Amino acid sequence: MTEATFPQCRIITERLLNPETTERLLNKVVSVAGVRRMVLNGPRLPLTVPYGPAKGQANPHPMRKTIHVGDQEIPLQVHVGTILLEIENKDVIPALQTAIEPVFTDFAFRIQEGKYMKTEPSLTDYCKYGPNADKAMLGLADPSSKSRPIILQGLK
């Protein structure tokens, strides 16, 4: 029996998003039925300075805030630039487009279709989650991260 392959798309913006825009965008994405998985990509915002003369000191970055998506609080660990999505079917893309258009009034965005997330477990996934890993977690493992991905409950 073959397993279903779900379409994937990504939202690309002209610039990096501030926390308020990210919060509005994610609330719109979560409100669309048919989104299975989501990954936020961008430069990391570490709590402490990772290298240089100030190594180990606090890193007070204005873009590292806690945002509210749905009824959950999510600490931003990246300065969001690209959002990867796995969706139920291609019919979700037009609904997604109309839902997020009001967020982007000051700059442009694009939604591209393609394959952007792993669908088979890698060695990193095996090391992070073990041999009986949840298929929904594939490709979401950061080998250097001590935390697990955040799971949002959207519409079904």
Terminal CA-CA length for the chain: 25
Q: Which residues contact 61 (CB under 8 A, 6 or more apart)?
A: 45
pLDDT of residue 151: 67
pLDDT tens-digit series, residues 31-78 = 999 998 898 999 989 889 999 999 999 999 999 999 999 888 999 989
pLDDT tens-digit series, residues 8-21 = 999 999 999 999 99
**What pLDDT band is residue 141 in, cutting at 50, 70 and 90?**
low
pLDDT tens-digit series, residues 80-107 = 999 999 999 999 999 999 999 999 999 9
